[in-house]
Amino acid sequence: MAWLVAGLGNPGERYSNNRHNAGAMVADLLASRAGERFRKVRFVPVEVAQMRVDGETVYLAKSHRWMNEAGPSYASLAKKRGVDVARFVAIHDDIDLAFGALKVKLSGSTAGHNGLKSLQSALGTAEFLRVRLGVGRPPGRQDPADFVLEPFAKRELPEVEVLIEEAADAVLSLIRDGLERTQDRFNRGDAR
């Protein structure tokens, strides 16, 4: 049975390096490591790169819809490719984790994350795997929605690169080793 790894983010070059696209950055890295490229899927607003991990088929996906409307894209792809929700992995930014923190978990609340709300609604369940990338809290009274749509600061880029690499490794570990072993290896940093 196949896996579907959804790299949450907004479409377009304008958003490619912002905090909200951390999940899509991980999907891009996984495809690059595998020597695969993303291709459009007929009748579904999503692009997919297909790879193999220890004999398992893994679909890396990025939606062509805005983050808060992307859930149906991923749910349609999962249905079309016969992917069970137990093998669905959402990779996403998380302002409730300290900058640079990484957490892998199964289910939970959306904590106000509109991409997760859309995904949970479209899948009809919260019981899917999540790889959470800590992007930190907005400074002062800045609106969180504005904060996540900003690019990472230049000084943050070295740590972002490490975070994206480790998140990609965590996705592969989930597929190869399961949730508990992956949590033991990769969960780090404090939730706020």
Tell me, yes or no, if 20 is annotated catalytic.
Answer: yes
Put residue 11 in one of left, alpha, beta given phi > 0 → left and psi -120 to 50 → alpha: beta
Q: How far apart are CA 106 and CA 41, in angstroms?
A: 27
Measured from the Cβ of residue 178, the count of other Cβ atoms closer than 10 Å reads 10
Burial, 180: exposed, middle or buried (Cβ in 10 Å; 0-12, 13-18, 19+)?
exposed
149 by DSSP, 3-state: which? coil
- Please list the residues that pair with 91 across neighbouring strands: 7, 131
Please list, in sequence order, all residues whose beta carbon lies within 8 angstroms of the beta carbon of residue 75, skipping any fewer than 6 positions away. Answer: 119, 122, 123
Give the C-alpha separation, 166 to 169, whole Å. Answer: 5
The answer to whether the CB of 102 falls within 8 A of the CB of 160 is no
User: Which of 20, 64, 92, 113 is flagged as catalytic?
Assistant: 20
C-alpha–C-alpha distance, residues 79 and 64, integer Å: 17
**Residues known to be catalytic:** 20
